[in-house]
Amino acid sequence: MASSKTAAKTSKPTQKKTPPTQLAVAFSGGLDSTVLLHATIKAHGKKNVHAFHVHHGIQKEADQWQAHCKAVAKKFGCHFDTKNVKLNKQSNIESQARNLRYEALTQMCEAHKIQDLLLAHHLDDQAETVLIQLMRGAGLPGLSAMPQVKSNELIHLWRPFLNMCRKDLESYAEEHKLTWIEDPSNQDESYRRNAVRKSILPTLEKFQKGAIENLARSAKHLGEAQGLLNQLADIDLGLIETKEGLSKTNLIRLYKTSQARATNALRRWLSKNGLAYPSEERLTAWWSELTQARLDAKLQWDHDQRVIRLWRGHLSITQDLNAQAKSKGKEKEKVTNEGEWTFKKVPANSKKPGIAKDRFEKAKQKGLINTMAREGGEKFKVDSKRPRKSLKNLYQEAAIPPWQRDVPLLYIGEELVAVAGIGISADWQTTDGPRFTLEWQAA
Please list, in sequence order, all residues whose beta carbon lies within 8 angstroms of the beta carbon of residue 163, skipping any fewer than 6 positions away. Answer: 123, 216
Q: How many CA atoms lie within 13 A of 134 on its CB side?
A: 13
The tens digit of pLDDT for each residue in 245-269 reads 999 999 999 999 999 999 999 999 9
Question: Pick from 342, 356, 364, 341: which is nearest to 431 by CA?
Answer: 356
Please list, in sequence order, all residues whose beta carbon lies within 8 angstroms of the beta carbon of residue 243, skipping any fewer than 6 positions away. Answer: none
Between the two ends of the chain, the Cα-to-Cα distance in Å is 61
Amino acid residing at 170: E
Amino acid residing at 351: K
Least confident of 115-124, 277-286, 306-315, 341-350: 341-350
Please give the Cα distance from 267 to 423 (Å, whole number): 37
Please give the Cα distance from 200 to 179 (Å, whole number): 28
Least confident of 147-156, 284-293, 337-346: 337-346
The tens digit of pLDDT for each residue in 300-355 reads 999 988 999 999 899 999 876 554 444 444 444 444 567 888 888 888 888 888 89
411 in helix, strand or coil?
A: strand
Give the ranges where 48-92 is alpha helix by DSSP (H). Answer: 62-76
CB 251 within 8 A of CB 315: yes
The tens digit of pLDDT for each residue in 62-105 reads 999 999 999 999 999 999 999 998 877 666 677 788 889 999 99
Determine the Cα angle at 38 with ends 35 and 44, to 5°.
130
What pLDDT was estimated at residue 161?
96
Task: Output the known binding site for ATP.
Answer: 28-33
pTM of the complete model? 0.69
Task: Output the known binding site.
Answer: 28-33
Mean pLDDT, the chain, rounded, equals 87
Residues above pLDDT 70, as percent of the chain: 90
Least confident of 141-145, 374-378, 429-433: 374-378
Mean pLDDT computed over 16-45: 89
What pLDDT was estimated at residue 158?
96
Looking at the predicted structure, is the pLDDT value of residue 4 above 70? no
* Strand residues in 257-408 grouped as ranges (E): 299-303, 306-311, 314-319, 339-345, 355-356, 369-372, 379-380, 389-390
